[in-house]
Structure 1
């Protein structure tokens, strides 16, 4: 699989782009320190000459110059480069946490339903059908504030960590079913194979059969589906912040940048450029990486 993947130039380039995004997110504090700016300081208040009377950058192209490479944020005067880096960091950490939880849940329930069958399969499958019947976007918007109130008094300001935990829980609750159904179907096809029967006759326990025989044989669909899930969670978390129910001011976030860009694009179109281009590049690269991983695992497929 690795040899086939290395011969796929699109896959290798996409993997390099994805690794670059993760590196930028992890190294955001280091880059911020070297750059000399941070995403929280309102430089427009420190230097009133940066913003005009309406709150927009005085200099052209969103205030881009040698001091602010990507310009400054309208109304607040924050540095766009560090805000974008920390926004990437926040979005990727949330999406990665949700993806790990969703994959683990799908493995436990999907493989258990496919191998054990009977009542286990019936209840787990009906539970998956029930959860997949929910309109996800409406569910996210409606239940995210409710989940947050379980941790803090609704009359108080919700801390950032509570918002992050709430987003992870809501996305996880409705994010594992597709992979769980895929793993259930793969397990149903594998449990009647000869090597499973041989392990069962030899006296192996169900847990050992699942762990040593079934799980290694479903790595391919699990890995491919995971590469599609993570960018989907990134865009969903950004959409929640864009709608005002996710992360809010002053936490740097991709969705919050899009929300502000939608307000100021008539007067400062430059502010939308950098987060928009970054989001498109990341999602396209991750989807192409998923296609390349699928082709590497199954050389008979044709893209």
Structure 2
């Protein structure tokens, strides 16, 4: 029923309310492929996820693990600086070792990717679940329910994320699994914005014809929400989730950097940055490697999120196309002028050829007439 009604939807309705089918998925992929930066970012993200999943295998190939100390690779006379060039890089330690501890840096880097990406993904799932639940309930509830949930959402949005996270993480016993705790705290505090987006979009979608038809058919509120509203919310939710993941990675790194996030010996990029802030001169790779990994990950996810947003919203793509400005317009005008000039030249050649042919035929006809008159006389 909803598919038939969507086909007859008014042209002024929002594009985000359209449920993407097989053809919609093909259009999305075609738009995404047109953005090369998004494809490169997707490849980088896929590589990072593959490295994080294969971290135990990679460290097994290297023959190291992220927690074993190697005191023989540390020069205690120099304050714990790694022995050897480039921070102790060798065939046994591909990226060298940590100062003071001698733990393998490659093993901690790839295992830290598992923690950072896992915490960010888990926090994003919690945020999306709570935001969608509260946003849909506020939009479909009574006026009092909407007011209550909206004001509660405003309070959540107004809470400072870092300060609340620091306070909550500081009072939890140290025996609790820290990655799970960090993901839960971030997810429980930072779901307000997605709830506002979902509420606004639900209010738009529930006024469409297919939702009204489902209501007239006797469907219950939650059945309408599950069958008619949630598919229409897929595009904005996916878009916002793609933006949330790099933000959550940065929050986890900041919390670990402040000492209340993931605790040793569990590796994390933020935690590695915390320990590396005094070694940037003696062992610069200890600081540059986790900082570079964090920068590349956040940048790739941000570019990918922007590409997904543009591919899911054709209006954004058209705005970008129009907004490229004068160079695109000048190039189109130049092409049009060239096409008109070529058409005019072709017409001129055709006209000259026609004129010459007419004159030639007229000359031959005149010659024959003269000859005929001469013969007759």
Q: Does 1:111 align with 2:126?
A: no
Q: Which residue of 2 aligns with 1:51?
A: 75
Aligned to 2:23: none
**Aligned mate of 1:254, from 269, 280, 283:** 269
Deviation at 1:50, TM superposition (A): 3.9
- Which of residues 112, 119, 122 is equivalent to 1:94? 119
Pairing 1:286-301 to 2, within 5 Å after superposition = 286-301=301-316
State the distance in 1 between where 2:36 and 2:159 align: 39
Q: Distance in 2 between matches of 1:289 and 1:240?
A: 25
Instruction: State the distance in 1 between where 2:55 and 2:153 align.
Output: 38
Q: Name 1:280's counterpart in structure 2.
A: 295
Q: State the structure with bigger RCO (CA 8 A, min sep 6), 1 or 2.
A: 1
Q: TM-score, normalised by structure 1?
A: 0.92
Determine whether 1:16 maps to 2:39.
no
Distance in 2 between residues matched to 1:12 and 1:244, nearest whole Å? 36
Pairwise CA distance, 1:195: 1.6
Larger radius of gyration: 2
Counterpart contact for 1:110–1:182, Cα < 8 Å: yes
Q: Distance in 1 between matches of 2:297 and 2:262?
A: 20
Q: Tell me how far apart the structure 2 counterparts of residues 60 and 110 of structure 1 sit (CA, whole Å).
A: 56
Quick one: which of 82, 90, 95 aligns to 2:107? 82
- Quick check: 1:3 aligned with 2:27? no
Name the CA distance, whole Å, in 2 between partners of 1:192 and 1:298.
20
| CA positional deviation for 1:211 | 0.7
Contact kept? 1:52, 1:58, Cα under 8 Å: no
Post-superposition shift, 1:42? 0.7
CA shift for structure 1 position 7: 2.6
Query: In the TM superposition, what are the counterparts of 1:1-303 in structure 2 within 5 Å?
Result: 1-43=28-70, 45=71, 47=72, 49-53=73-77, 54-146=79-171, 148-149=172-173, 158-159=174-175, 161-301=176-316, 302-303=319-320
Q: Normalising by structure 2, what TM-score? A: 0.74
**More deviation, 118-127/72-81:** 118-127
| Structure 2: gaps (5+ residues) | 1-27, 321-377
SS at match of 1:300: helix
SS in 1 for 2:195: helix
Contact 1:50-1:59 within 8 A present in 2 as well:
no
Q: Tell me whether 30-39 or 58-67 shows the greater mean CA deviation.
A: 58-67
Contact 2:62 2:93 (8 Å CA) reproduced:
no
Q: How many residues align structurally?
A: 290
Post-superposition offset of 1:190: 1.5
